[in-house]
RNA sequence: GGGGACGUAGUUCAGUUGGUUAGAACGCUGCCCUGUCACGGCAGAGGCCGCGGGUUCGAGUCCCGUCGUCCCCGCCA
């Protein structure tokens, strides 16, 4: 193939097939760079050698598909190209066959400037010919294979579960598939094979995995596609630690397959600690954590700055940003999205001028060095009255008011980190900071619904020690002070450089506990039966303790490939409006198809 | 659902305060060239300035709407 010939092949006959990557015409001497998946080799056509073949070669254009037969020749010392692996040799052509011509493509795979994404996606087959895309897709293959091999070696079976399954309208929206045989009914594409894999544990398969497509009908992001691939696994009789060991094992194999060595075991951090130190449940450990500098400010300072003294005062430190201009400092403000009365103090210099003593303490406590950027985030004194926050959720370590401050600061920290990535140099390729985030809360307060909701999913087992709180809380679903707030889940996330790679838990294996959770979530027994009856029934037939996890394959490959978007590692992705620009999907369907399915499409309002 | 950025030649971009015939590079076409490798030289073709409306003597430029792509918030059990 085009990338394999070396000096040791000199003198051999060879046939190369591929695409014309570049043509350099010197009159009687013509060079063609021929490209395939493996690389590029230079082919030489010379009138001295064969006039007719050279003549034919002159008709070649970019992206023509050709076969060239010739002799591998060692290049003269002065014509060696050290920039390419095949640069010591070239193929001297004796024969040329044009296997196919090509229209002039809208862009060339060999172009140095990257074409806009719309055009790339429309002509994805051309885009995928580019080196970078070939590399990404190859990495994806290698990673998936390494994971399959590793899990197989650990006694896991890869077992398929249905794509056409039952809608369980909770959490993300389902993609629906209408049934023709049973008009008016719908299958749903799985958001995850969650219940199937648990039933496989009940079925005696002990260790299951699947590299499986999942579907969620929600708005897209750079790291979120409506269909995505998960490394899904489940095992019986696990401690969280045994699941983590499996994950660390296959990630080590996967990263090795991509040429990176990683350290295990990964560090672990409580959810509460993650919030307090990073303001987010998926901390990026490559940058310094927050410092609470409340005690560095005197009570006069606090009231002077209109800061709520009962809430943390967060110092965000971004290293090595250097002196900021007035304009750059002003630009920080719009990057701040305030939650729950949080305020930003972006001008640390001004604080230093006015409160020298406090600033001294702050820079000491944050380990501030020359050129580091310090931004403060604190609660606004006016915004909260103070009584509510002390009364709220006595069990919880982090109150909602504190959470608002931490979260606002966490978002700002990330925005600043991204903006000043050039300066702080903390985002270097190959720096992988993994983390297990553990002890998530079992329930989250939904302000809209005024009730507690499952934070992970309703099959997650609560902590053994928190069962009592759960029992006490069952009847106080709508009370923000419910003991439910303090129930911890046996759930864990694996995080890499601020990206959530995967999420898992030890599951509930007892039917009575499962029913109690459904009840705690406000589901009546009938509702639970109607939705999950088959599952509750299965739980009653000797269900072993079990647990597992699912990791996003796309995200892993994205990070390994150093890509900014999932679209770079998915061969045929969707745009932000969930459209496939190449095949132009989705589309309306014919009246006949709809009739067969018993479906009437209502025109959107204002479009008749 | 909300906020922001962008849309000019096949591609990447420039286009001044609203003022003559909208430019460059790469790519493309033709000719020349025997050691290039992002080859080089000469000549040439190529534009609904996303689309629709408005302001104006005059709009790529200002205003309104609309479509598309990207990013973020909400959402993602």
How large a percentage of chain A has pLDDT more than 70? 96
Question: Bigger pLDDT: A464 or A507?
Answer: A507
Among all strands, which nt has the closest C1' to A31 (CA)? B36
DSSP A200-235: HHHTT--EEEEEEEEE--S--BTTB-SEEEEEEEEE
Mean pLDDT of A540-558: 97
Place of tokens 């069962």: A467
How many CB atoms neighbour CB A395 within 10 A?
Answer: 16
Asked if residues A328 and A375 have their Cβ atoms less than 8 Å apart, the reply is: no
Q: Distance in angstroms, CA of A23 to C1' of B45? A: 21
Q: What is the pLDDT of residue A395?
A: 54
Handedness of CA A251, A424, A562, A38 (dihedral sign): negative
pLDDT at A386 (0 to 100): 42
Is A25 within 7 A of strand B by CB distance?
yes
CA nearest neighbour of A315 among A343, A291, A347: A291
CA dihedral A287, A493, A556, A201 (to 10 degrees): 170
- Using a 7 Å CB cutoff, list residues 389-428 of A near strand B: 411
Measured CA A191 to C1' B66 distance, in angstroms = 35
pLDDT tens for A578-587 read: 999 999 999 9
| Protein residue nearest nucleotide B70, by CA to C1' | A576
What are the backbone dihedrals phi and psi of residue A488, each rounded to the nearest 5 degrees, phi first?
A: -95, 150
Q: Is the CB of A170 under 7 A from strand B?
A: yes
What pLDDT, on a 0 to 100 scale, did the predictor assign at position A401?
80
Distance A119 CA to B6 C1' (A): 15
The C1' atom of B66 and the CA atom of A326 lie apart, in whole Å, by: 38
| pLDDT value of residue A169 | 66
Mean pLDDT, range A491-511, rounded to an integer: 94
Using pLDDT thresholds of 50, 70 and 90, give the confidence band for residue A338.
confident
Q: How confident is the model at residue A135 (pLDDT cuts 50, 70, 90)?
A: very high
Residue A75 has pLDDT above 80, yes or no: yes
Please tell me the predicted confidence (pLDDT) of residue A383. 52
Residue pair A317/A291 in contact (Cβ under 8 Å)? The answer is yes
Which residues 504-533 in chain A have a CB closer than 7 A to strand B? none
Q: What is the pLDDT of residue A366?
A: 93
Instruction: Tell which strand B nucleotides have any atom below 7 Å from a protein Cβ.
Output: 1, 10-13, 26-29, 32-40, 68-77
3-state secondary structure of A484: helix
Average pLDDT over every residue of A174-198? 94
Pairwise pLDDT comparison (A416 vs A153), residue with the higher score:
A153
Q: How far is the CA of A222 from the C1' of B75 (A)?
A: 15
The two most distant CA atoms of chain A are separated, in Å, by: 94
User: Residue A83: which nucleotide is closest by CA–C1'?
Assistant: B37
Determine if strand B comes within 7 Å of the CB of A107.
yes
Strand B closer than 7 Å to the CB of A224? yes
Burial per residue of A14-44, b for 16 or more beta-carbon CB atoms within 10 angstroms, e otherwise: bebebbbbeeeeeeeebbbbbbbeebbbbbb
| Cβ of A331 less than 7 A from strand B | no
Contact, A299 CB vs strand B, < 7 Å? no
Query: Nearest nt to A220, CA vs C1'?
Result: B76
At residue A603 the predicted structure's pLDDT band, cuts being 50, 70 and 90, is low
Is residue A465 exposed (0-12), middle (13-18) or buried (19+ Cβ within 10 Å)? exposed
**Three-state SS annotation for A229-282:** EEEEEEEECCCHHHHHHHHHHHHHHHHHHCCCCCCCCCCEEEHHHHHHHHCCCC
Q: How far is the CA of A33 from the C1' of B28 (A)?
A: 19
A122-CA/B39-C1' distance, Å: 32
pLDDT of A516 reads: 87
Cα–Cα distance between A271 and A282 in angstroms, integer? 9
Average pLDDT of the residues in A47-74 = 95
Looking at the predicted structure, is the pLDDT value of residue A606 above 80? Answer: no
Share of chain A above pLDDT 90, in %: 68
Residue nearest to nucleotide B11 (CA to C1'): A107
Cβ of A583 near strand B (distance < 7 A) = no
Residue A368 to residue A364: CA distance in whole angstroms:
6
Q: Tens digit of pLDDT for each residue in A253-267?
A: 999 999 999 999 999
pLDDT of A330 above 80: no
Mean pLDDT within A339-345: 81
pLDDT band (50, 70, 90) for residue A607: very low
pLDDT digits (tens, 9 = 90+) for A381-438: 765 444 344 334 445 677 778 888 898 899 889 888 888 887 888 888 889 999 999 9
pLDDT value of position A99: 96
Structure tokens at A562: 């150093």
- pLDDT the model gives residue A480: 77
pLDDT at res. A86: 95
Nucleotide nearest to A222 (CA to C1'): B71
Own/partner pairs for A259-267, CB < 8 Å, 24+ apart? A260/A430, A260/A432, A260/A560, A262/A432, A262/A434, A266/A434, A266/A435, A266/A436, A266/A494, A267/A434, A267/A435, A267/A436
Q: What angle is formed at CA A403 by the lines to CA A401 and CA A408, rounded to 5 degrees?
A: 105
Task: Tell if A113 CB is < 7 Å from nucleic strand B.
Answer: yes
**Mean pLDDT taken over chain A:** 90
């Amino acid at each position: 193939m085009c990338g394999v010939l070396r000096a040791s092949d000199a003198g051999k006959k060879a046939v190369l097939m591929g695409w014309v990557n570049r043509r350099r015409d010197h009159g009687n001497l013509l060079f063609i760079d021929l490209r395939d998946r493996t690389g590029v080799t230079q082919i030489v056509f010379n009138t001295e050698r064969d006039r007719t073949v050279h003549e034919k070669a002159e008709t070649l254009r970019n992206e023509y598909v050709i076969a060239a037969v010739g002799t591998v020749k060692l290049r003269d010392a002065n014509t060696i190209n050290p920039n390419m692996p095949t640069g010591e040799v070239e193929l001297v052509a004796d024969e040329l066959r044009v296997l196919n011509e090509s229209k002039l493509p809208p862009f060339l795979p060999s172009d140095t400037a990257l074409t806009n994404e719309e055009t790339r996606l429309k002509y994805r087959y051309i885009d995928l010919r580019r080196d970078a895309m070939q590399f990404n897709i190859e990495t994806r293959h290698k990673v998936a294979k390494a994971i399959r091999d590793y899990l197989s070696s650990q006694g896991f079976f890869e077992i398929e579960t249905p794509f056409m399954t039952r809608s369980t309208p909770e959490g993300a929206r389902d993609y629906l598939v209408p049934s023709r045989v049973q008009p008016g009914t719908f299958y749903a594409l799985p958001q995850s094979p969650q219940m199937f894999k648990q039933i496989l544990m009940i079925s005696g398969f002990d260790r299951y995995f699947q590299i499986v497509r999942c579907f969620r009908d929600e708005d897209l992001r750079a790291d979120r596609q409506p269909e995505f691939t998960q490394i899904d696994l489940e095992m019986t009789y696990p401690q969280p630690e045994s699941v983590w060991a499996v994950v660390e094992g296959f990630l080590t194999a996967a990263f090795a397959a991509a040429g990176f060595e990683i350290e295990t075991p990964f560090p672990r951090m409580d959810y509460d600690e993650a919030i307090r130190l990073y303001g987010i449940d998926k901390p990026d450990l490559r940058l310094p954590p927050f410092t609470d500098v409340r005690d560095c400010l005197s009570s006069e300072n606090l009231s002077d700055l209109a800061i709520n003294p009962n809430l943390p005062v967060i110092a965000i430190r971004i290293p090595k940003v250097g002196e900021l201009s007035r304009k750059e400092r002003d630009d920080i403000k719009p990057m701040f999205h305030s939650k729950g009365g949080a305020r930003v103090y972006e001008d640390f210099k001004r604080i230093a001028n006015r409160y020298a003593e406090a600033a001294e303490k702050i820079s000491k406590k944050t380990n501030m060095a020359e050129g580091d950027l310090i931004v403060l985030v604190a609660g606004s004194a006016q915004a909260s009255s103070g009584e509510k926050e002390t009364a709220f959720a006595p069990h919880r370590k982090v109150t909602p008011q504190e959470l608002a401050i931490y979260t606002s600061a966490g978002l700002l920290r990330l925005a600043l980190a991204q903006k000043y990535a050039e300066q702080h140099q903390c985002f270097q390729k190959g720096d992988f900071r993994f983390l297990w985030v553990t002890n998530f809360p079992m329930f989250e307060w939904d302000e809209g619904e005024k009730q507690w909701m499952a934070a992970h999913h309703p099959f997650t087992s609560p902590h053994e020690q928190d069962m009592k709180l759960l029992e006490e809380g069952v009847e106080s679903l709508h009370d923000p002070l419910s003991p439910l707030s303090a129930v911890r889940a046996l759930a864990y996330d694996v995080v890499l450089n601020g990206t959530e790679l995967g999420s898992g838990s030890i599951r509930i294996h007892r039917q009575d506990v499962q029913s109690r959770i459904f009840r705690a979530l406000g589901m009546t027994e009938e509702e639970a039966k109607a939705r999950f009856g088959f599952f509750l029934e299965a739980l009653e037939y000797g269900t072993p303790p079990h647990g597992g996890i699912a990791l996003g394959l796309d995200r892993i490959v994205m990070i390994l490939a150093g890509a900014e978007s999932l679209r770079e590692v998915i061969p045929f992705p969707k745009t932000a409006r969930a459209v496939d620009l190449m095949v132009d999907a989705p589309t309306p369907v014919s009246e006949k198809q709809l009739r067969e399915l018993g479906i009437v499409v209502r025109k959107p309002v204002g479009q008749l």
